[in-house]
Chains A and B, each alone.
Chain A
């Protein structure tokens, strides 16, 4: 990791409140489909690789940039790097992919992409994140896996 921070003073955003559990949610007889809030809850507390802050606090992930189609088993997550030349963009995207890969049933097809127009190497980063062979190879790299685990590990 770089010795100097790329984005020295990032803008901070307010966290949303915890989800209110309704009687409907607790009713075991009702089949609850995945919704965008649930996906958001899985990724909002991923740590930024540079700052002791979460992706939610840095506005890298937002609930309204998540799309889910339960029927087609498709999930589409867009994330917004804090600065357009952020060298951590691939690592952040990989952390989001890994977290969703681990937490969701395998039937889901997950796409993780940069919010259009927010990064200089958007197409290259998106292509890299969409290549499951390169993702699989990256996850066999112990050093990288350790860094990703630190990112997805929720702070106490």
Chain B
């Protein structure tokens, strides 16, 4: 078993912290919560301190924040039905664009790898794709494929494919049809028996991990046309199959999952206050992979863990956010 070592406890938010997001260079961290603020944290040896607090961008809970791949922008999704984009062209972070259109709470926001597209999703059941052009944001698509509240959107690590997770128990993948530049659903991942709260792509973009209110994690594998095991595909579109279900570990809703692009480790945030880490077995069959829990940090927080995210650059470093109002920085030792 590995160990999770608590490095820093960051207090500054009032009330529940919903989300943390690492800067693309892994050098600082943004967090958001019910106090309607975004806090940017950074190291100041030997501690981590508040660098900036962003206020007055939103009138209700900020559910999620996301750094752009270039690290110069922050997008924030709020229950006030808007998404704000912050930049520091003036020297400090300012909200210079507000994306409106969703009918109610925006639950998640994600930047594509190129930074040219943004996706947002909402309780209004829709996923919106926004094109970024010289600081102008134009809605390129409104996708009404889910039948319920959409909880999470995440772009493919390299391609312009976006995945969304929903209260309707499914995950859907969307991409643009080159012929008519319409965004449409290219795959529906059905197997969870309750709300899918979050999802994470692996480094290659051929696999997705999902976590759910049904207390399981599922691993999905993409099979392209003409794939080796002979999995049937239709219309020349890849199919996604659930190849592994990790069950029996989590005792309450799993709110978040992240798949480390450098180490391949999976981490989960659970309503039982525990952070768990899973590692793929060395002799794992890619078409029937197996994962072993290598760490279970009891009482990682004193209340529900809402979010976990691996540092994109520094292997083993992890940030978490909780209902207990705290953000924590951990280090995983194998």
Contact = CB atoms under 8 A, between A and B. Distances in A.
Contact of B61 (A106, A109, A131, A140): A140
Contacts of A106: 302-303, 323-324
Interface in B231-270: 252-253
A109 B79 CA distance: 24
A137 B194 contact: no
Contact of B79 (A107, A131, A140): A140
A109 B272 CA distance: 8
Interface string A119-156: 00000000100111110110010000000000000000
B187 to A, nearest CB: 24
B167 to A, nearest CB: 7
Given A106-B324, A131-B167, A137 B302 contact: no
Q: Chain B's interface: helix, strand, loop or mixed, by majority?
A: loop
B16 interface: yes
Contacts of A127: 167, 194-195, 213
B324 A109 contact: no
B202 interface: no
Contacts of B323: 106
Q: Chain A's interface: helix, strand, loop or mixed, by majority?
A: helix
A133 B107 contact: yes
Interface string B196-225: 000000000000000001000000000000
Contacts of B105: 137
- Residue of A130, A133, A140 with most partner-chain B CB within 10 A: A133
A106 B303 CA distance: 7
Interface in B141-159: 149, 151
B60 A140 contact: yes
B323 to A, nearest CB: 8
A109 B123 contact: no
27 contacts: A106-B303, A106-B323, A106-B324, A107-B302, A107-B303, A109-B252, A127-B194, A127-B213, A130-B253, A131-B167, A131-B195, A131-B213, A132-B271, A132-B304, A133-B63, A133-B107, A133-B151, A134-B149, A136-B16, A136-B34, A136-B79, A137-B61, A137-B79, A137-B104, A137-B105, A140-B60, A140-B61
Given A137-B79, A137-B105, 18 more contacts: A106-B302, A109-B252, A127-B194, A127-B213, A131-B195, A132-B271, A132-B304, A133-B63, A133-B107, A133-B151, A134-B123, A134-B149, A136-B34, A136-B79, A137-B104, A137-B123, A140-B61, A140-B79
